[in-house]
Structure 1
């Protein structure tokens, strides 16, 4: 159960601190190995300078062989330390990104109040791109430290040859970082804006795909496309802005590093010409001047990645810090209980009051679709108990006193437009793979004809959002999933609006038979389900205005007959 105390970090900086704290061991090992790698890289031109120095002084073959052996050791150290250091850091990076993806996804699935109005497409972007960029901090810090080690080793080695060379490296590094820190702040602010606009474009795509058919039906698809084009164009322009900033940063870093390398090389040449350093020290200085460009480039790139990680962490905090719609309780309802709505006022509901006894099959015929949607939202805990008047009781206990996990294990509300996921028919019906009533659910939802169409049967592939299924097939697949969950209380909201009348009649009878002895509430105007119900409650203007069997209501209530006639 998620509580305010267990939500974890709620700000971008806290997220980064948590990531660093959780991976301190891997980062320490990675820093050690990457520092060894950079030290080895720095030692290579130093060793070359010593070999040249020994050769110039006429040392023997033994000294030359010893120097070559030392080079072999350095090369081996560089190779192995890089290999294992990056393996440790990348494994920690990938693991940390997965942790944040799971946490963001878990938070997105919880009934939370999204004050920042985040759409599902935005949450998806945060759970993927932003989680990855936030976890990059695990690699950034060790690489930053190891690059600093390389620069310091090079500065010390050059300083031993001549203090002016060491001072030049230190001063140049400070100047480069000072210039690039200004550019990195611009990249950070531009990246935050780009991520927000890309996320909004993703949300717009998700909304557009979901509503494409109804939009096309009344000719609103062109307006929707224009709206998406505007959002995507804004995202593209911002992406260009970020690319320009990154290009300016990379170009400046490369130019400044090249200037420093050239300055070190020219200064070393002048000192050698003046006789203040030896030829071997000149070779070492030229080699270090060339080598130092790599760690300097890495070192100068790190502020940019730090700012990008911070921007992504701030985005994740929007989801992780979203308050719950209500502080969940800890209770669990008693098995076999009933469902009671006691004077609930919310939206179109006006002091709604009714009770579904344990084991009953009850239908609600709502004259206004808005009232049906509001009732389904309240029962699905998409509305906090504090946002409506009255009480909802499940198994004799108030909804506000129950934990979210207990509610979901006991009460299932199958929405009007349930999601269909990429996978197979079987994984959509039984996502956890633990249901023991999949065959019965397939039979009751009349999904058997769909299964029979394909040689793979239930293992037939389903595209994202059920793109390769018809509207009726998607509805039956969603209904089969709800039935396979086998909850104590099942609420169905318009489960067969896209199904023909004959099929709907068969489904209603089979669902009633399968759910016999279990509490079932169907919010619908379907004559087939109304006729299959033990009793029908008429919901009009937010209150229950009549209660009887479907056939008695048809005979006595003209308004009811007109509302459910097809």
Structure 2
């Protein structure tokens, strides 16, 4: 749930700022890359000039071995310069490009994973695309600018060399280059708008895939997989059509650029030939002009492609700005909850919760029997600080302090909410139970969650490999693994949301006793309808229609509350 924009000023970070930041912190690498790539282009330009000079000297009768040796040496120096400058120049630029892409990936990921979510209308799959593809394309600007400058150097050097032979050749190159870039700059705007739309549609398709993978098992369960796949096919088809449109635009752009470059090269060659026939330039200058006419096609090709890359980088930067420039959903406080305090909800109204009021004393094990699953989910969201305090009525207190006055990090260090659908990550059983590698209660957590049979089943034990989303584990094993992770964290206040729905009754009984034993003296709240967990609790709160309607031990409630008995009896 979002608060109105009028209550929270929105800051923005436009894509141009992101590009300027990328350029600013890579100035050193770009300068060296520009120098070396400029040397490369200058060396390439010097090659036909040197050939023209050699031919001219040969035509004048200077055919000594010394002159031949000097010519070969000059060509060797040019070739060596071209080879080394390209090698080291591209190494510097690509290292800077890769490093910059990594920085932006980390920044976007940090925004997506921060304790207080950002107010941005993007799904997690779209954020993933922005953190990968868009970060890479934005960082390309670090490589594009030096290539643009070096290509310009090559065109200028070629124009000057041709101008020294005949001013009309130099003017032809300069005028032709300006005309080509003017035409292509207009076309690049179409590429930018088409690319932005393609990136958005591809991101939406990626988000749809992520959602399908997450819900694949439930979809198969109630036969909704075909409808879901049709929905994805529609989104994917839209992305495909837009990709085809972008490919067509890029194809027209590339074809136009190549054609215009070829026309300019042909014009320079024909003009040089006409001037040579008229005796206005010599044979050596003709050879140089023909060689340069062929050579300038490469820098002109690079030069003409740069606007396309710049527009793509800007489109990606603007998509990153959607994440990086979005304000937090809530502005958390800076306080820390007191150790050993109570958990209290005072007339909380949110979603299906209706003036919910209860208090859990420090060290108490309380089970909450929730008749409506939606109310359990809403309560878990409020306690997990997934809902900002200003988005609901009433107050949540930890140790007597209001949640809004506490920092999110300190709340989550103090109070851990283990969700119903806890994620299982690729890695090992151990890395899933103790991601930080700092827990001292891993073995106790494994035993309490009854995960011991899974550990004993494999020779690697806790180092047994787990596939992405726990694909090689059953539903009950994944649930017990998630419970073991929550118990291993040893939080002062632990909230468990339906931790045993996928296990059998015998295992459920053992888990209930083990959790009560392991968590003795630590505050524990379980949202459940499990008779075993309800019986293991110190007391049970009955939550109906978003409010507490009864409170007692499980057995007393069974004896006097018929509705409760029907709701939890199995």
Q: Normalising to structure 1: TM-score of the pair?
A: 0.96
Deviates more, 1:110-119 or 1:96-105: 110-119
Cα distance, 1:214 vs. partner?
2.1
Q: Is the aligned partner of 1:284 residue 2:251?
A: no
Matched with 1:351 is 355
Cα distance, 1:540 vs. partner?
1.2
Q: Is the aligned partner of 1:43 residue 2:46?
A: yes
CA contact (8 A) 2:119 2:328 kept: no
- Structure 2 CA distance for aligned equivalents of residues 488 and 10 of structure 1: 39
CA contact (8 A) 1:43 1:74 kept: yes
CA contact (8 A) 2:336 2:406 kept: yes
* Correspondence list, 1:127-526, <5 A: 127-526=131-530
Aligned-residue Cα RMSD (Å) equals 1.7
Q: Is the aligned partner of 1:105 residue 2:109?
A: yes
In the alignment, structure 2 segments of 5+ residues that lack a partner are 1-7
Cα distance, 1:513 vs. partner?
1.6
Determine helix, strand or coil for the equivalent of 1:469. Answer: coil
Matched with 1:80 is 84
Matched with 2:548 is 544
* Correspondence list, 1:113-124, <5 A: 116-124=120-128
CA contact (8 A) 1:137 1:306 kept: yes
> Matched residue pairs, number?
561
Determine helix, strand or coil for the equivalent of 1:270. Answer: helix
- Structure 2 CA distance for aligned equivalents of residues 235 and 8 of structure 1: 30
Determine helix, strand or coil for the equivalent of 1:391. Answer: strand
Matched with 1:532 is 536
Determine helix, strand or coil for the equivalent of 1:421. Answer: coil
Determine helix, strand or coil for the equivalent of 1:516. Answer: coil
- Structure 1 CA distance for aligned equivalents of residues 274 and 116 of structure 2: 68
- Structure 1 CA distance for aligned equivalents of residues 483 and 261 of structure 2: 64
- Structure 2 CA distance for aligned equivalents of residues 533 and 477 of structure 1: 22
- Structure 2 CA distance for aligned equivalents of residues 409 and 84 of structure 1: 49
- Structure 2 CA distance for aligned equivalents of residues 159 and 397 of structure 1: 80
Cα distance, 1:336 vs. partner?
2.3
Matched with 1:18 is 21
Cα deviations across residues 439-464 of structure 1 (Å, max 9, x unaligned)? 22211111111112222222222221
Cα deviations across residues 456-476 of structure 1 (Å, max 9, x unaligned)? 222222221111111111111
CA contact (8 A) 2:112 2:118 kept: no
Cα deviations across residues 8-63 of structure 1 (Å, max 9, x unaligned)? 97221111111111211111111111111111111111111111122222233223
Cα deviations across residues 340-399 of structure 1 (Å, max 9, x unaligned)? 111111111111111112222111111111111110111111111111011111233221
- Structure 2 CA distance for aligned equivalents of residues 408 and 68 of structure 1: 73
Cα deviations across residues 150-171 of structure 1 (Å, max 9, x unaligned)? 1111111111111111111111
Cα deviations across residues 259-279 of structure 1 (Å, max 9, x unaligned)? 111111111111111111111
Matched with 1:126 is 130
CA contact (8 A) 2:111 2:117 kept: no
CA contact (8 A) 1:113 1:322 kept: no
Determine helix, strand or coil for the equivalent of 1:358. Answer: coil
Cα distance, 1:509 vs. partner?
1.4
- Structure 2 CA distance for aligned equivalents of residues 277 and 9 of structure 1: 59
Determine helix, strand or coil for the equivalent of 1:539. Answer: strand
Matched with 1:94 is 98
- Structure 2 CA distance for aligned equivalents of residues 58 and 512 of structure 1: 103
- Structure 1 CA distance for aligned equivalents of residues 42 and 413 of structure 2: 57
Cα distance, 1:295 vs. partner?
0.7
Determine helix, strand or coil for the equivalent of 1:364. Answer: strand
Cα distance, 1:212 vs. partner?
2.1
CA contact (8 A) 2:119 2:329 kept: no
Matched with 2:561 is 557
- Structure 2 CA distance for aligned equivalents of residues 11 and 499 of structure 1: 50
Cα distance, 1:408 vs. partner?
2.2
C-alpha spacing 1:186/1:168, structure 2 compared with 1 (3 Å): same
Deviates more, 1:353-362 or 1:366-375: 353-362
Cα distance, 1:213 vs. partner?
2.2
Cα distance, 1:135 vs. partner?
0.8
- Structure 1 CA distance for aligned equivalents of residues 523 and 81 of structure 2: 69
Matched with 1:56 is 59
Deviates more, 1:34-43 or 1:393-402: 393-402
